[in-house]
Amino acid sequence: MNEHDKPGHKATTRLLRAGRPHRGWVNTPVTRASTYIFDSVQQWRDTRSRRDQERLVSYGARGTDSTHALEDALVELEGGYRAKAYPTGQAAIATVLLAYLKSGDHVLITDAVYEPVRRFCSEHLARLGIEYSYYLPDGSDLAARLRPNTRMIYAECPGSLAYEMMDLPAVAGLARAHDCWLAVDNTWGSGLLYRPLALGADISIIAATKYLGGHADVMMGVAVTNERAWAPLERATVDFGQTVGADDAYLVLRGMRSMPARMAVHGRSAMRVADWLQSRPEVARVLCPALPGDPSHALWRRDCHGTNGLLSIEFAPGIEDADVERVIDAFKLFGLGASWGGFESLAVPAYMLRARSVADWTGRGAVLRLHIGLEDPEDLIADLEQALAALRR
Ligand SMILES: *Cc1c(COP(=O)(O)O)cnc(C)c1O
């Protein structure tokens, strides 16, 4: 586990205590609230004049004790200045893009981006006159793709589906030199395994629906920023009316308490399953930066603090998407469903030719994304073994 850069207790201990009430209850009680009653016009006016800069209670949409407790824990987790929560990860991404970009600006988006972001760009950034283009998942072509009007580099590290990494400190240096923002989708690392702000990013986004919630029962996205990036995000979040309910804030905060323990099991079981998969003739390679031999392994060793439950199988030549779909239909334990980061194991086909527009996937194998949950890994291996038999039928 990573030891954050503050003195005192270790990171896991600090995460358990962040956002706790000042006295009494171990976890923050749920504060469901819209209207806050002020004592006087003087207090009301004073609060309204300060609430854009300071964290004050003034109206439910701007924050309650529940969302403030969650914010404290997120700031601890990511090592940031302040944080905001959104109803989904996608909403967090959309708000971040619109908070910092205006008509005439250009944003560089990683080719390894969470796929629904592509449609947000083509439908909405385009409509608003914001230019966007994609760069290679390892960031090697970034410097050449910067334009005079590039105002943001949007990264996802490791990337979706194939988990490609980029040298984030180097990308942060480029962003600073070009005076543009660096935003990173950190759902893979979720603040435990990877900490973009410490590596030079301005904004870190996490789909809390995944490991923070951890139980497949809550939707949420969060964005944590450094001090210089805070004001534009705070304003846009308020102006777009983005907020989360107290019950959901409570669920995510509760999930975060056990996230280090869950993540350790996800990572250990994923490595056990990866070992087994790598011995199989149907498998060309297992995509995961924690595996020696993965193209991102050196960066993973340098910048990450462990791995999670995600693995993608790249199948051997001759195995087509339709064959992968038969494997999925044969699973008994792995479920077919969106998302990951909950306690259960999931499998979805990854259509890489569609999911990448700059990186070239022609000539590579069909891909199946697995999320290794908290089941006994030997049961998962047995399920994989019987499902892979579908390839021979
Ligand atoms: C799931 C996911 C999202 C979106 O989160 P939702 O809460 O499902 O909207 C964003 N980024 C990444 C990398 C994801 O895996």
The residue whose C-alpha atom lies closest to atom 6 belonging to ligand 1 is: 89
Structure tokens at 210: 């995944």
Q: What is the pLDDT along the chain (393 residues), one digit of tens a residue?
A: 344 545 689 999 999 999 988 778 888 899 999 999 999 999 999 999 999 889 999 999 999 999 999 999 999 999 999 999 999 999 999 999 999 999 999 999 999 999 999 999 999 999 999 999 999 999 999 999 999 999 999 999 999 999 999 999 999 999 999 999 999 999 999 999 999 999 999 999 999 999 999 999 999 999 999 999 999 999 999 999 999 999 999 999 999 999 999 999 999 999 999 999 999 999 999 999 999 999 999 999 999 999 999 999 999 999 999 999 999 999 999 999 999 999 999 999 999 999 999 999 999 999 999 999 999 999 999 999 999 999 988
47: left (phi over 0), alpha (psi -120 to 50) or beta: alpha
Q: Which domains does the chain have, with CATH numbers?
A: 3-255 (3.40.640.10), 258-392 (3.90.1150.10)
Which residues sit opposite 300 in a β-bridge? none
219 lines ligand 1 (CB under 6 A): yes
Q: Give the Å distance between the CA of 58 and the centre of ligand 1.
A: 30
Residue 21: predicted pLDDT: 81
Distance from the alpha carbon of residue 244 to the mean position of ligand 1, in angstroms: 16
Cα–ligand 1 centroid distance for 186 (angstroms): 10
Report the amino acid identity of residue 288: C
pLDDT of residue 7: 62
pLDDT of residue 33: 96
| Cβ of 214 less than 6 Å from ligand 1 | no
Task: Determine contact, residues 79/124, Cβ cutoff 8 Å.
Answer: no
Query: Whole-prediction pTM value?
Result: 0.97
C-alpha 298 to ligand 1 mean position (Å): 26
Q: Does the Cβ of 201 fall within 6 Å of ligand 1?
A: no
What is the structure's pLDDT at 22? Answer: 77
Does 186 sit in the ligand 1 pocket, CB within 6 Å? Answer: no
Q: Which residues of 300-314 are buried (b: 16+ CB within 10 A; e: fewer)?
A: beebbebbbbbbbbb
Beta carbon of 63 within 6 Å of any ligand 1 atom: no
Backbone angles phi, psi at 59, to 5 degrees: -160, 145
Is the CB of 209 inside a 6 Å radius of any atom of ligand 1? Answer: yes
Whether ligand 1 lies within 6 angstroms of the CB of 89 is answered as yes
Nearest to 313 by CA among 371, 250, 272: 371
Of 187, 190, 193, 248, the one to substitute when testing ligand 1's pocket (max ligand atoms within 8 A of C-beta) is 187
Residue nearest ligand 1's atom 2 by CA: 207
Going through the chain in order, the beta strands assigned E by DSSP cover 82-86, 106-110, 131-135, 150-156, 181-185, 203-207, 221-225, 283-287, 310-315, 346-350, 367-371
91 CA closest ligand 1 atom index: 9
pLDDT number for residue 6: 55
